[in-house]
Each structure stands twice: as structure tokens, then as C-alpha cells.
């Protein structure tokens, strides 16, 4: 078939096709895409409203479809000259031709998307959301520690300095009280920072971070913890796997304390072949999982995290307790 014939076919596609070069300059646009966007050859493709606003790390592409592990398709509002209010589905393929690297942007009406694509897209979006949540937690933890924490600490020291030069008993008593409030605030900040981002995580890895957190929880809540970890010392978690597992355990412990009012919690983690099994058992008052109305985000996030790590999770509990959360991830 001749090139011109191919061109005619693409020209009449019911999907919009835009071909752009590496600098996002349009080298080809078919009728449908022009109709939807009003863009023309030679112009550069603007970012959709989602990508314009999203937070992007240093080496990441702003366009969510241009990343290494792109979404199969993505729904957002396209900045255009024809003032449509609809969101469109977009997907992108990279093309390497003799003349260089190109990107082919396909624009569709939302109804043209398949069920399979929907599922995959949802999973990837959840993944994105969780990663964004982790980086936001990290940022807040850093701010709390480096900024607010340091300021409160210098106030605390300043106050202590003044206290030593005050003789008037009425004022020393007041200063002592202020001192106590400050100590409480510092302890609270420290706890919050650790919960947001276990400090040790970045340097020492999963096991050390978990052991240290369990020590903190034990001291803080004054309950019995037993922690059994049987994983090879040289086990390396990929990317954020360890952090996901840590968050699962953290949520299970929080639930046991908050909802179950547990006085004893057992955590066990062990490796069999390529699977890492975990269970968290509490002696709290339990719950009937069938009666949950599905509003809690905690359990949902735990499910989504194990799914991302190619595993599974279940809750074995009944009213009156105990509760066992058990599952595995693939490592």
C-alpha cells in the first residue's frame, strides 16, 4: 500500500492522532484530533490539566504518558482552542524512526476505552496516589523535624535560660509549667515525625525500622508486643516494597489499638521461597468484617498495597475478638 493511502486512512480515523517530536512539536495531526483540539502542525502540544498541576520529581517527565512505565491511557481535560468541556482519554506510544524519536498521542472519547484498560489504569493511578502520599509524608516529616521541631527546641532552651535567672516564685512556677508544655510538644512532634516517616527507613531498611517502631509503640502505649522476623539478612526489598509492608503493619497495629483496644499484639514475618508471609494478631475486641460499610480507608489501602506487591491479605476476626490479619507479598 502506498504511503498516501495510509495517510488517508489515518486521516479518517475515529480516534484523534497527533504525532509530535521530542520537543512536543506537532509533525502530524489527523482530522479528528484537529476537530477536538484545534491544534495544528508546528505548534507544541500543551500538557493536559492534570499534568500541568501534578508534582514531578527531578528526572520524571511532566507528561504522565511519556514516562518509562506509562499508563495505558489516561483521562483528563485537554487545553484546546475549541472550548469543549469534555475530558478525553489519551494514550501515547513512542516511535523510533530514521528521522528521530516521535510520540504518537491518541485521543479518544471516554466510551471507547475497554474494561481491561480501565482496571490497569485504576491500579496504576492508585500506585501513583500512594507514591505521592509517601513523598508528601516525607516532606511533612522533614518540615516538622527540621523547622517546627528546631524552633520549639530553641524556645525551650531560651525559656530554660530565663528560668535560671528568675527568683520570683510566682514566675518560676509559671515558667516551669511552660517548660512542661514545651517538653510535651517536643515529644509529640518526635512521635509524629517518626510515624510519618520512620527515620531509619532510608538508611537501615525494613527490619531495623520495624524493630525500632515496635520499641516505640511498646513504650508509648504500654502494651505487650511480640515481634518475630525470620527473613534473610541479605534480603533486599525493591523500591518502596519494604515501606509498603511497614505501612500495612503500622495500620494493623493502629487498628488493634484504636478499635480493638488490644493489650497484646503479635507480629510475625517469615519468608518461604519467593513469598514473604506476615501476620498481626491482637487480643482486642474484634469485629465482623461483613458488617463494615466499606468506609474505612485503612483496610482498603492495605489491600491495595498487597495487590501492588503481588500478594494477598485477609482478616480473620469476630465480635469479641481476637483479630488476625494475615497475608503475603512476593519478593
Ligand X SMILES: Nc1ncnc2c1ncn2[C@@H]1O[C@H](COP(=O)(O)OP(=O)(O)O)[C@@H](O)[C@H]1O
CA angle 286, 288, 290 (to 5 degrees): 155
**β-strand pairing of 224-230 with 264-272:** parallel
Min CB(111)–Mg ion separation in Å: 37
Helix (H, G, I), strand (E, B) or coil at 169: helix
46 binds, among ligand X, Mg ion, none (CB under 5 to 8 A by kind): none
- The nearer residue to ligand X, 183 or 318, going by C-beta atoms, is 318
- Cα-based angle 196, 200, 203 (whole degrees, multiple of 5): 125
The CA distance from 47 to 63, in Å, is 7
Q: How far apart are CA 1 and CA 43, in angstroms?
A: 30
Pick from 16, 149, 260, 311: which binds ligand X (CB under 6 A)?
260
Binding mask 202-241 for ligand X (x = CB under 6 A): ----------------------------------------
Contacts of 152 (CB under 8 A, 6+ apart): 182, 185, 186, 189
Q: Per CB under 6 A, does 327 bind ligand X?
A: no
Nearer to ligand X, 149 or 327 (CB): 327
In terms of residues, how long is the chain? 331
Q: How far is the CB of 256 from ligand X (least distance, A)?
A: 4
The distance of closest approach from Cβ of residue 284 to ligand X in the complex, given in angstroms and rounded to an integer, is 5
Q: Which is nearer to ligand X, 118 or 307 (CB)?
A: 307
| β partners of residue 229 | 269
Q: Which residue is nearest to Mg ion (CB)?
A: 298
Examine residue 287 and tell whether it contacts ligand X (CB under 6 A): yes
**Which residues are at the interface with ligand X (CB under 6 A)?**
255-256, 259-260, 282, 284, 286-287, 292, 296-299, 323
Amino acid at each position: 500500500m502506498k504511503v498516501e493511502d495510509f495517510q488517508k486512512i489515518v486521516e479518517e480515523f475515529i480516534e484523534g492522532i497527533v504525532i509530535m517530536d521530542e520537543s512536543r512539536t506537532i509533525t502530524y495531526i489527523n482530522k479528528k484530533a484537529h476537530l477536538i483540539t484545534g491544534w495544528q502542525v508546528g505548534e507544541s502540544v500543551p500538557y493536559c490539566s492534570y499534568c500541568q498541576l501534578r508534582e514531578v520529581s527531578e528526572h520524571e517527565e511532566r507528561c504522565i504518558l511519556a514516562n518509562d512505565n506509562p499508563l495505558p491511557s489516561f483521562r483528563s481535560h485537554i487545553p484546546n482552542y475549541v472550548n469543549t468541556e469534555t475530558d478525553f482519554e489519551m494514550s501515547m506510544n513512542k516511535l523510533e524512526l530514521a528521522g528521530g524519536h516521535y510520540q504518537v498521542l491518541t485521543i479518544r472519547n471516554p466510551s471507547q476505552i475497554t474494561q481491561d484498560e480501565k482496571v490497569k489504569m485504576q491500579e496504576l493511578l492508585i500506585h501513583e496516589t500512594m507514591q505521592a502520599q509517601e513523598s508528601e509524608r516525607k516532606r511533612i516529616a522533614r518540615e516538622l523535624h527540621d523547622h517546627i521541631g528546631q524552633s520549639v527546641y530553641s524556645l525551650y532552651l531560651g525559656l530554660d535560660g530565663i528560668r535560671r535567672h528568675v527568683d520570683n516564685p510566682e514566675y518560676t512556677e509559671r515558667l516551669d509549667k511552660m517548660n512542661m508544655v514545651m517538653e510535651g510538644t517536643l515529644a509529640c512532634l518526635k512521635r509524629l515525625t517518626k510515624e510519618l516517616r520512620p527515620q531509619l527507613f532510608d538508611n537501615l531498611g525494613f527490619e531495623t525500622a520495624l524493630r525500632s517502631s515496635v520499641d516505640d509503640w511498646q513504650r508509648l502505649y504500654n502494651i505487650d508486643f511480640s515481634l518475630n522476623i525470620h527473613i534473610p539478612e541479605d534480603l533486599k526489598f525493591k523500591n518502596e516494597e519494604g515501606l509498603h509492608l511497614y505501612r500495612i503493619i503500622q495500620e494493623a497495629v493502629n487498628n488493634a489499638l484504636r478499635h480493638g483496644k488490644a493489650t497484646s499484639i503479635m507480629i510475625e514475618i517469615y519468608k518461604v521461597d519467593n513469598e514473604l508471609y506476615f501476620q498481626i494478631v491482637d487480643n482486642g475486641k474484634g469485629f465482623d468484617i461483613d458488617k463494615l460499610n466499606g468506609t474505612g480507608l485503612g483496610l482498603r489501602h492495605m489491600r491495595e498495597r498487597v495487590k501492588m506487591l503481588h500478594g494477598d491479605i485477609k482478616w480473620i476476626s469476630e465480635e469479641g475478638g481476637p483479630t488476625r490479619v494475615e497475608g503475603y507479598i512476593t519478593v
